[in-house]
Chains A and B, each alone.
Chain A
Amino acid sequence: MRRDAATAGPVLALVESARIQFHLARRYPMMIVLNVVQPLALLAIVLQRTDNGPRALGELLISVLLTCYWGNIIWTAGGVLRRDRMSGTLARTLLNAQDGRLIIVGRCLGAMVTSLVTLAITSAAVLMVAQRPVELPGPAWLAMGFAGVAISGTALGLLLATALLHSRHGVEITAALMYPVFVFGGLLVPPEAVPAALRWLSWLISLSWARDFMVHADWLAGLGLILTTAAYVAIGARLFQRTLDLARKEGTLDLV
Chain B
Amino acid sequence: MSERLWRLNTAHRMGWISFFKEYPPKILALTAIPRVLLQSAFFVLLAGVVGGFAAEKFALIGVMGTTMTIFTVTSICDVPILEAQSATFYRHRVGIVSPFAALMCRGVPHAVAGMCAATLILSAVAPATGHSGLVTDLLAYFPIYLLMAVTCTIGGLTIGVLSSPSDNQVLASNLYGYLILILSGAVIPVERLGVFGDLGMVLPMHHGVAAVRAALAQQPWAMAVLMEVAVGALWITLAWASVAYRVRLARVRGAADHS
Q: Tell me the A residues contacting B by CB distance below 8 Å.
A: 29-30, 32-33, 37-38, 40-42, 44-46, 48-49, 169, 172-173, 175-176, 178-180, 182-183, 188-190, 193-194
The smallest beta-carbon distance between A173 and chain B, in angstroms, is 5
A41 touches B178 (CB 8 A): yes
Partner of A45, one of B34, B50, B170: B50
Q: Shortest 10 CB-CB distances between A and B: which pairs?
A: A179-B38, A176-B31, A29-B171, A33-B174, A172-B31, A182-B42, A176-B35, A189-B45, A49-B50, A29-B170
Interface residues of B in 163-193 (CB under 8 A from A): 167-171, 174-175, 178, 181-182, 187-188, 192
A48 touches B171 (CB 8 A): no
Partner of B38, one of A41, A183, A188: A183
Q: Tell me which residues across on chain A come within 8 A of B167, comparing CB atoms.
A: 29
Question: In whole angstroms, how far apart are the Cα atoms of A90 and B66 in the complex?
Answer: 37
| In the complex, number of A-B residue pairs with CB atoms less than 8 Å apart | 90
B174 touches A37 (CB 8 A): yes
Residue of A nearest to B168 (CB): A29
| Given A38-B178, A176-B30, A188 and B35 contact (CB-CB distance below 8 Å) | no
Residue of B nearest to A184 (CB): B38
Q: Tell me which residues across on chain A come within 8 A of B181, comparing CB atoms.
A: 41
Question: In whole angstroms, how far apart are the Cα atoms of A189 and B32 in the complex?
Answer: 21
Q: Tell me the B residues contacting A by CB distance below 8 Å.
A: 22-24, 27, 30-32, 34-35, 38-39, 41-43, 45-51, 70, 74, 167-171, 174-175, 178, 181-182, 187-188, 192
A193 touches B49 (CB 8 A): yes
Question: In whole angstroms, how far apart are the Cα atoms of A175 and B73 in the complex?
Answer: 14
A172 touches B47 (CB 8 A): no
Known: A172-B32, A173-B30. 7 other contacts (CB 8 A): A30-B174, A41-B181, A175-B31, A179-B38, A179-B42, A183-B42, A188-B42
Partner of B51, one of A38, A48, A175: A48
A46 touches B46 (CB 8 A): yes
Residue of B nearest to A180 (CB): B38
The smallest beta-carbon distance between A255 and chain B, in angstroms, is 22
Of the candidates B74, B174, B187, the one having the most CB atoms from chain A within 10 angstroms of its own CB is B174
Question: In whole angstroms, how far apart are the Cα atoms of A172 and B46 in the complex?
Answer: 24
A179 touches B39 (CB 8 A): yes
Q: Tell me which residues across on chain B come within 8 A of A172, comparing CB atoms.
A: 22-23, 27, 31-32
Residue of A nearest to B50 (CB): A49
Q: Tell me which residues across on chain B come within 8 A of A169, comparing CB atoms.
A: 24, 27, 31
Question: In whole angstroms, how far apart are the Cα atoms of A188 and B45 in the complex?
Answer: 9
A190 touches B49 (CB 8 A): yes
Q: Tell me which residues across on chain B come within 8 A of A182, comparing CB atoms.
A: 38-39, 42
Question: In whole angstroms, how far apart are the Cα atoms of A33 and B182 in the complex?
Answer: 14
B46 touches A189 (CB 8 A): yes
Residue of B nearest to A167 (CB): B27
A175 touches B35 (CB 8 A): yes
Partner of A33, one of B30, B31, B43, B171: B171
Residue of B nearest to A173 (CB): B31
Supply 28 A–B pairs (Cβ within 8 Å), ascending by A: A29-B168, A33-B171, A37-B174, A37-B178, A38-B178, A41-B181, A42-B46, A45-B46, A45-B187, A46-B49, A46-B50, A49-B50, A49-B51, A169-B24, A172-B27, A173-B31, A175-B31, A175-B70, A175-B74, A176-B30, A176-B31, A176-B32, A179-B34, A179-B41, A188-B42, A188-B49, A190-B49, A194-B45
B35 touches A178 (CB 8 A): yes
Q: Tell me which residues across on chain B come within 8 A of A183, comparing CB atoms.
A: 38, 41-42, 45
Q: Tell me which residues across on chain B come within 8 A of A173, comparing CB atoms.
A: 27, 30-31
B48 touches A193 (CB 8 A): yes
The smallest beta-carbon distance between A49 and chain B, in angstroms, is 5
Partner of B188, one of A32, A33, A45: A45
B46 touches A176 (CB 8 A): no
A30 touches B38 (CB 8 A): no
Question: In whole angstroms, how far apart are the Cα atoms of A48 and B27 in the complex?
Answer: 36
Question: In whole angstroms, how far apart are the Cα atoms of A175 and B33 in the complex?
Answer: 11
Partner of A41, one of B47, B50, B170, B182: B182
The smallest beta-carbon distance between B97 and chain A, in angstroms, is 29
Question: In whole angstroms, how far apart are the Cα atoms of A45 and B48 in the complex?
Answer: 11
The smallest beta-carbon distance between B156 and chain A, in angstroms, is 15
B50 touches A44 (CB 8 A): no
Q: Tell me which residues across on chain A come within 8 A of B74, comparing CB atoms.
A: 175
Question: In whole angstroms, how far apart are the Cα atoms of A38 and B170 in the complex?
Answer: 13
Question: In whole angstroms, how far apart are the Cα atoms of A179 and B46 in the complex?
Answer: 12
Q: Tell me which residues across on chain A come within 8 A of B38, comparing CB atoms.
A: 179-180, 182-183
B34 touches A32 (CB 8 A): no
